[in-house]
Amino acid sequence: MLTPKETNKLVKTVNSLMILLVGVLLVLVGLVFYIAFKPNFSSSDEVELLATDETDAAADETVIPSMDDATDLWSAPSMNTTPQGEKGNLIKYGKELIAHTAEFFGPNGSVKHLSNGLNCQNCHLEAGTKQWGNNYGSVAATYPKMRGRSGQVEGIYKRISDCFERSLNGVAPDSNSREMKAMASYILWLGKDQPKGQRAKGSGIYNLAFLDREVDPINGKKIYDAKCKVCHQENGEGVPNETNTAYTYPPLWGDLSYNKGAGLYRMSRFAGYVKANMPLGATYASPQLTDEEAWDVAAYVNTQDRPEKDLSGDWPDISKKRIDHPFGPYVDPYTEEQHKFGPFKVIDEFYKEYKKQKKNPKA
């Protein structure tokens, strides 16, 4: 027989074990619920597809289109069609954050001081809606996806964070913040009508054909002085707005421009971007630069000083590194200088053959 004292001790032990068991069960139920209903990489129920980025260095973001073919391009939905309530408010707030990023996150930002003072729409024109203006038309359809630069599956939050850390040369907002959720909601809403897994025609950056020669920064300076300096200034410092909270014309190099990890630091991305959008007033259908001028002005701008970034974690599989990424190592025999200035065609051909050999090693 147990004494009353022993009985009481046994009851307390049993009760403690029961409480512990209930706690474990609640944790397990919570974990199952989280796994079943958690947001897909970006706290959005709009992204369902796990897409795959291009896997070889020769391939790029788009096939080379014809400048004469300006039909059936993606167009953004009207802001008048945003949903009612908090979801619509979040989308509208997201657009404001994209269009006026510096006012919220710049050196004098009202929310936090995280960026260099540029706006997202300095690179993603018209708040990410302009055709071939580095727009967001394909994001909802292609994210989350495996990306070669990080070697990881990336969701929309990672994409936004990369822009803050590279193009805005700053720090990413908290992924749980209302601002991050708002930017993601807006970007995903813009591409809501694009079929999953299909890139929208006219989205992203226009892809120029490679030149048969090296790009020429000396000639690029002449083009810059003639067609770009009036807005971006002689030393690339840009023009601040009247309240000094953002830029009317953004700096293209220097401490307050994008760093060496940004997408526009690649010659092909900068060249394609300016071909379809610059100087001010140019469009995909009515360009103001020749292909050669676009490549050469890219060479001039991207040989000027700009902030550094630790890129040691980029391209864990170097065979997936883009051919104009100007930092080695590479699987090919070409120098960093050629990867930056070209000629790019011979590197492109190397990777086409490399890809064939990987797919069919006995061929």
Residues 58 and 144 in one domain: yes
Model confidence at 358, pLDDT cuts 50, 70, 90, reads: confident
Beta strands in the chain (DSSP E): 51-52, 133-135, 145-147, 152-154, 204-205, 239-240, 247-249
In a domain, 157, yes or no: yes
Q: Which residues contact 217 (CB under 8 A, 6 or more apart)?
A: 296, 299, 300, 303
Q: How many CB atoms sit inside 10 A of residue 314's CB?
A: 16
**What's the pLDDT score for residue 128?**
98
- Overall domain count for the chain: 2
Instruction: Tell me which DSSP letter residue 168 carries.
Output: S
CB 75 within 8 A of CB 184: no
Residues 199 and 71 in one domain: yes
DSSP-derived secondary structure for 281-313: T--SSS-SS-HHHHHHHHHHHTTS-------TT
Alpha carbons 237 and 256: distance in angstroms, whole number: 8
The tens digit of pLDDT for each residue in 87-141 reads: 999 999 999 999 999 999 999 999 999 999 999 999 999 999 999 999 999 999 9
Model confidence at 20, pLDDT cuts 50, 70, 90, reads: low
In a domain, 41, yes or no: no
Residue 23 has pLDDT above 70, yes or no: no
Residues 199 and 315 in one domain: no
| Domain range enclosing 275 | 217-359
Residue 16 has pLDDT above 80, yes or no: no
**What's the pLDDT score for residue 297?**
98
Instruction: Tell me which DSSP letter residue 79 carries.
Output: G
Least confident of 298-307, 332-341, 351-360: 351-360
**What's the pLDDT score for residue 48?**
37
Q: What is the CATH number of the domain that holds 108?
A: 1.10.760.10
Is residue 35 classed as helix, strand or coil in its secondary structure?
helix
In a domain, 2, yes or no: no
Structural domain ending residue among the three candidates 205, 233, 268:
205
CA distances to 88, 117, 126, 164, 176 from 103, rounded to whole Å, are: 21, 8, 16, 14, 20
Residue 17 has pLDDT above 80, yes or no: no
Residues 256 and 171 in one domain: no
- State mean pLDDT over 10-28: 54
In a domain, 12, yes or no: no
Question: Token digits for 318?
Answer: 């170097």
Is residue 205 classed as helix, strand or coil in its secondary structure?
strand
Model confidence at 71, pLDDT cuts 50, 70, 90, reads: confident
Query: Residue 321's closest CA among 145, 153, 149?
Result: 149
Structural domain ending residue among the three candidates 172, 205, 238:
205
Structural domain ending residue among the three candidates 154, 170, 205:
205
For tokens 């990987």, what's the residue? 358
CB 219 within 8 A of CB 296: yes
Residue 44 has pLDDT above 50, yes or no: no
In a domain, 235, yes or no: yes
The tens digit of pLDDT for each residue in 204-235 reads: 999 999 999 999 999 999 999 999 999 999 99
If residue 85 lies in a helix (H) or strand (E), which one and from where to where? helix 85-99
Residues 167 and 295 in one domain: no
Residues 256 and 326 in one domain: yes
Query: Residue 146's closest CA among 55, 248, 17?
Result: 55
Question: Token digits for 3?
Answer: 């004494």
The tens digit of pLDDT for each residue in 170-203 reads: 999 999 999 999 999 999 999 999 999 999 999 9
CB 302 within 8 A of CB 260: no
